[in-house]
Structure 1
Amino acid sequence: MLTKKQLDLLAFIHKRVQRDGVPPSFDEMKVALDLRSKSGIHRLITALEERGFIRRLAHRARAIEVVKLPDSMTDGGFTPRVIDGDLPDTPPPPAAQPVVTIEAQELPVMGKIAAGVPIEAINQRVRGVTVPASMLAGSGAHYALEVKGESMIEVGINDGDVVVIRETSVADDGDIVVALVEDQEATLKRFKRRGDAIALEAANPAFETRVLPADQVKVQGRLVGLIRSY
Structure 2
Amino acid sequence: MLTKKQLDLLEFIHKRVQRDGVPPSFDEMKEALDLRSKSGIHRLITALEERGFIRRLAHRARAIEIVKLPDAMGGDAQAFTPRVIEGGAVERPHRARPVESVDAMELPVMGRIAAGVPIEAIEQVSHHVAVPGAMLSGSGQHYALEVRGDSMIEAGINDGDVVVIRETSTADNGDIVVALVQDQEATLKRFYRRNGMIELVAANPDYETRVLPDHMVRVQGRLVGLIRTY
TM-score under structure 2 normalisation?
0.56
| Separation in structure 2 between the aligned mates of residue 204 and residue 102 of structure 1, nearest angstrom | 37
Number of residue pairs aligned between Structure 1 and Structure 2: 130
- Conserved in 1, the CA contact under 8 Å of 2:112 and 2:123? no
Shift in Å, 1:103: 1.1
The structure with the larger Rg is 1
Shift in Å, 1:229: 2.2
Give the 3-state SS of the residue equivalent to 2:154 in structure 1: helix
1:208 maps to what in 2? Answer: 208
Bigger RCO of structures 1 and 2 (CA < 8 A, at least 6 apart)? 2
The letter for the 1-side match of 2:173 is: D
Shift in Å, 1:129: 0.5
Shift in Å, 1:140: 0.2
2:109 maps to what in 1? Answer: 109
Q: Does 1:172 align with 2:172?
A: yes
The letter for the 2-side match of 1:165 is: I
The letter for the 1-side match of 2:136 is: L
The answer for unaligned runs of 5 or more in structure 2 is: 1-100
Give the 3-state SS of the residue equivalent to 2:192 in structure 1: strand
2:188 maps to what in 1? Answer: 188
Give the 3-state SS of the residue equivalent to 1:177 in structure 2: strand
Coordinate RMSD, CA, aligned:
0.9
Q: Does 1:141 align with 2:157?
A: no
Shift in Å, 1:124: 1.4
Structure 1 residue runs of 4 or more that deviate by more than 6 Å after TM superposition: none
The letter for the 1-side match of 2:229 is: S
Give the 3-state SS of the residue equivalent to 1:158 in structure 2: coil
1:114-137 deviation digits (Å, cap 9, x = unpaired) = 000000010311111010001001
1:120-173 deviation digits (Å, cap 9, x = unpaired) = 010311111010001001000000000000000001000000000000000000
Q: Percent identity?
A: 74
The letter for the 2-side match of 1:220 is: Q
* 1:1-230 alignment, distance < 5 Å: 102-230=102-230
1:152-203 deviation digits (Å, cap 9, x = unpaired) = 0001000000000000000000000000000000000000012110000000
| Separation in structure 2 between the aligned mates of residue 111 and residue 117 of structure 1, nearest angstrom | 16
The letter for the 2-side match of 1:158 is: N
Give the 3-state SS of the residue equivalent to 1:183 in structure 2: coil
Give the 3-state SS of the residue equivalent to 2:140 in structure 1: coil
| Separation in structure 2 between the aligned mates of residue 102 and residue 192 of structure 1, nearest angstrom | 37
